[in-house]
Amino acid sequence: MLYDETLFEDEDLPLYMRTERIAEHDVHSDLAHWHDHIEIIVINRGSVICQVNSEAFPLHKGDVCFINHKQLHHLRPGGENECCHDVLIVGTDLLTRNNRIFERYISPVLDDADFSHVRFEGTSSPAAEIAALVNHIQRIRQLKEPGYELELVAEVHRIFRQLFLAHASMHVISPTDANARILQRMTDYIRSHYDEPISLDDIARAGGVSRSQCAKLFKRYAADSPISFVNKYRLEQSRVLLRSSSKSVAEVALLSGFSDQSYFNRLFSRAYGITPLSYRKGGSRA
């Protein structure tokens, strides 16, 4: 799933939470993406490989991972069994705007481009506390008792305290990854022009690199080729249109950037194990 400005149901409460599953047999996994929000991943069952910029690392049951805003990241299967994990995404506008507190505790974490992520092992007390807070946030959102927004904001700040402590304890930090920023520019170009013809030259030009360097960066950071990434992104957009509009499959294909409906049908079926029409009718495999 790609996260964008339509992520939050309520812009006054920029918080998104979902339980997701990734299995080794899945043809289509999470596309490399970045956004302006902070992200918390809690592994409930199984394991995944999480990649943030160029660093890939495993996450197992009980582990918690924080990913800072504007960091390129994605997940892929990490074992034979299906992984079940909670994703909590928090818009930075939800964090306190008390100037003194923001400048002392929030800004140092958000503004540190080198602090891309941190992994809390499941055996650690911070992981246990964050996992419990994420679970509580989910319950608060379900019950929506009077004043629940205040409790949500409070729990988010309790999580952020653990992130601040982790940031403060890190003495050796890797330098900012300039190549990750280049890939962000290229993926941003794709997000803005996916419904138009896109060539490898177009993508490379957006990043200010050669065609060969463009391909290398996508392979290193997104584990994909540039054109394959474009097609996967277009397929993600087509799924949204199929479920949210009454447009024909042919129209959906065109609006998603596929000029050939037959080619679109083949790619969709290969990626999701179901035809676009069956998916619209409520098929479950996608």
Mean pLDDT throughout 63-75?
93
Q: Which CATH superfamily is domain 178-280 in?
A: Homeodomain-like (1.10.10.60)
Half-sphere exposure of 165 toward its Cβ, with a 13 Å CA cutoff? 11
Domain ranges of the chain: 15-169, 178-280
Q: What is the pLDDT of residue 286?
A: 53
Q: State how far the Cα of 155 lies from the Cα of 151, in Å rounded to an integer.
A: 6
Enter the pTM of the model: 0.78
Which amino acid would we find at residue 130? I
Fold of 15-169: Jelly Rolls (2.60.120)
- Give the single-character DSSP code of 67: E
Q: What is the pLDDT of residues 120-150, one digit of tens each?
A: 999 999 999 999 999 999 999 999 999 999 9
- In sequence order, the β-bridge partners of residue 66 are 40, 118
Q: Which tokens hold the place of 249?
A: 């499959």
Q: State how far the Cα of 283 lies from the Cα of 276, in Å rounded to an integer.
A: 9
Q: What is the pLDDT of residues 182-237, one digit of tens each?
A: 998 999 899 899 999 999 999 999 999 999 999 999 998 888 999 999 999 999 89
Q: What is the pLDDT of residue 28?
A: 46
Give the residue among 42, 139, 153 at the shortest CA–CA distance from 93. 153
